[in-house]
């Protein structure tokens, strides 16, 4: 679409290009991204996450830091700047935390390797590190992303533990009963994880208190001195961290497809599915199910911010520009082309139709630690209607959207958009005399959601904190708390 002579307005595409080019210094890339965030030229969870990961990869690549604690500090600072540029976009913070986690993990591993003989290795950390190593052993050198493979791995692990423990999953809806077995049987590595489970029975104790928080500072210190001692190790470390970030990026790219992988479990023949707004994630999910089953989709248009994109989805035009660089499947097959009946309705008709709907599938912007979600405006009305009719609400969300932030002030997470979507600016009387609001997001409390499907599978709301504990290190959690609520 961009003409050869055309000057590209800055966007994720141009940023991706510039962050890769050697001519652009890291500092200017950072500033560039900050201003892109500020200008909202990169927005929505995934583009933001991708841009953040790309930037941090470059930061790590170019860092000449020999002291790992300094690298961590730097990433942290950059993270804070990025977050304050778009404080309501929590996926930025998520990625920063993930990257910090990768660095810390590599460091600990390294340290473990070197100091395996020492006795002072920090007894606290022991239960965790063996598990890390072990979970990596099944495929030590394959490029297939670790976070991709380990996550289901750990997940399976966790699930089976949970099964043993039993009492931790009281709320799991009946719909899910098959899920655990599915995960176990379908993913090959789970077997190894079962092994690891057996061999390291303590590893499952993921209680937030036991793990990293307390031990990390001491690790740092002892570690940084050691790291200084042999620069070669640091170099390796750097390569590994870059690799880790690369895997995060890969995960970002594959999240939608992985989520779609669970479609057949949740969508059954002849169901009526209600969805809302234009979303690639939901689109892929439904398409996957459409390949095998026949069902009906009722699509609420999400006026005024996304109705055009929704219409385009339904008719089958090309995706909106925000997604262009991210997926190769820019040209999506429409649901109708896959033989699905699609009914487009205005948001106001949601309640009227809800009684006939079997399942509501929502895309989300952010999932918070307690399970509350921030989704496109209109989602809450939809979820409330669903609640009244006892229709299950399924939220699709990549793990990268899962934020460890607790919503103390939900208002602070809402963003108000441009009111001209509601009333055109031409209308002078309206502009002058009426206050017009156009919230971009809705805040849907956890009570209204029945199930979350991430790229790791389906989870009950109460289970989310486990995934979050798996993905974020406790010492990184308060990375930006002050920024978010300012």
What is the binding site for other proteins (CB under 8 A)? 3-10, 14, 21-25, 27-32, 35, 38-41, 84-85, 87, 411-412, 416-420, 424-429, 431-432, 435-436, 438, 486
Task: Please state whether beta strands 373-376 and 441-444 pair in parallel, antiparallel, or not at all (unpaired).
Answer: antiparallel
Distance, in Å, from the CA atom of 323 to the CA atom of 9, rounded to the nearest integer, reads 15
Q: Looking at beta carbons only, is 213 or 419 nearer to other proteins?
A: 419
Nearer to other proteins, 19 or 402 (CB): 19
Contact partners, residue 107, CB within 8 Å, separation at least 6: 68, 219, 220, 223, 227, 237
Nearest approach in angstroms of CB 257 to other proteins is 31
**Closest distance to other proteins from the beta carbon of 481 (Å):** 14
**Preceding amide of 106 cis, omega within 30:** no
- Cβ neighbour number for residue 336 with a 10 Å cutoff: 14
Residues 92 and 94: their CA atoms lie apart, in Å, by 5
Residue with tokens 């460890």: 404
Phi, psi of 405 (to 5 degrees): -80, 135
User: What's the min distance (Å) between Cβ of 29 and other proteins?
Assistant: 8
Of 89 and 112, which has the nearer Cβ to other proteins?
89
Find the shortest distance in angstroms from Cβ 376 to other proteins. Answer: 16
Which residue, 30 or 158, has its beta carbon nearer to other proteins? Answer: 30
State residue 366 phi and psi, 5-degree precision: -145, 145
CB of 435 to other proteins, least distance (A): 7
Q: In whole angstroms, how close is the CB of 406 to other proteins at the nearest point? A: 18
Sign of CA dihedral 406, 411, 412, 417: positive
Closest contact distance (angstroms) between CB of 439 and other proteins is 10
Give the tokens for residue 250: 């890969």
- Please check whether residue 369 is in contact with residue 406, taking contact to mean a CB–CB distance below 8 angstroms: yes
Compute how many other C-beta atoms are within 10 angstroms of the C-beta atom of residue 410: 13
For other proteins, the closer CB: 87 or 404: 87
Cα torsion angle, 211, 217, 220, 222, sign = negative
| DSSP string for 289-323 | HHTT---EEEEE--TTTTHHHHHHHHHT-PPPGGG
Nearer to other proteins by Cβ, of 257 and 321: the residue is 321
- C-beta closer to other proteins: residue 301 or 475: 301
CB closer to other proteins out of 4 and 232: 4
Q: How far is the CB of 32 from other proteins (least distance, A)?
A: 6
């Amino acid at each position: 679409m961009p003409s050869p002579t055309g000057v590209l307005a800055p966007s994720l595409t141009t940023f991706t290009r510039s962050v890769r080019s050697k001519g652009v210094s890291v500092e200017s890339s950072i500033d560039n991204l900050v201003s892109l965030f500020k200008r909202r030229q990169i927005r929505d969870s995934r583009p933001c996450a991708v841009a953040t990961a790309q930037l941090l990869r470059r930061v790590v690549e170019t860092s000449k830091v020999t002291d790992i604690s300094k690298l961590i500090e730097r990433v942290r600072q950059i993270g804070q700047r990025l977050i304050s540029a778009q404080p309501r976009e929590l996926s930025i913070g998520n990625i920063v935390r993930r990257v910090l986690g990768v660095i810390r993990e590599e460091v600990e591993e390294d340290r473990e390797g070197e100091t395996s003989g020492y006795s002072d290795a920090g007894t606290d950390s022991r239960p965790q590190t063996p598990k890390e190593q072990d979970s990596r052993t099944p495929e030590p050198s394959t490029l297939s992303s670790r976070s991709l493979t380990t996550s289901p791995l750990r997940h399976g692990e966790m699930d089976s533990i949970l099964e043993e423990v039993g009492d931790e999953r009281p709320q799991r809806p009946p719909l899910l009963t098959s899920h655990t077995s599915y995960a176990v049987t379908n993913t090959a590595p789970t077997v190894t994880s079962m092994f690891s489970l057996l061999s390291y029975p303590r590893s499952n104790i993921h209680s937030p208190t036991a793990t990293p928080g307390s031990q990390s500072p001491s690790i740092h210190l002892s570690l940084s001195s050691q790291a200084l001692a042999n620069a070669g190790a640091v170099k390796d470390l750097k390569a590994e961290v870059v690799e880790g970030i690369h895997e995060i990026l890969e995960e970002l790219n594959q999240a939608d497809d992985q989520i779609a992988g669970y479609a057949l479990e949740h969508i059954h023949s002849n169901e009526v599915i209600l969805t809302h707004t234009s979303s690639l994630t939901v689109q892929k999910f439904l398409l996957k199910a459409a390949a095998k089953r026949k069902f009906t989709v009722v699509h609420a248009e999400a006026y005024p911010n996304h109705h055009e994109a929704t219409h385009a989805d339904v008719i089958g035009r090309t995706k909106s520009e925000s997604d262009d660089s991210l997926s190769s499947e820019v040209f999506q097959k429409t649901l109708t082309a896959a033989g699905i009946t699609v009914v487009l309705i205005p948001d106001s008709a949601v309640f009227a139709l809800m009684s006939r709907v079997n399942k509501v599938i929502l895309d989300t912007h952010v999932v918070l630690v307690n399970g509350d979600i921030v989704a496109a405006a209109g989602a809450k009305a939809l979820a409330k209607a669903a609640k009244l009719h006892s229709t299950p609400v399924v939220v699709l969300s990549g793990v990268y959207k899962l934020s460890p932030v607790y919503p103390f002030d939900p208002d602070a997470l809402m963003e108000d958009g441009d009111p001209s979507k509601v009333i055109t600016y031409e209308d002078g009387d309206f502009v002058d005399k009426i206050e017009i609001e156009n919230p971009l997001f809705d805040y849907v409390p956890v009570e209204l959601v029945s199930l979350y499907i991430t790229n790791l599978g389906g989870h009950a709301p109460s289970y989310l904190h486990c995934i979050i504990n798996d993905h974020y290190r406790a010492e990184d959690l308060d990375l930006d708390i002050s920024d978010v609520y300012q």
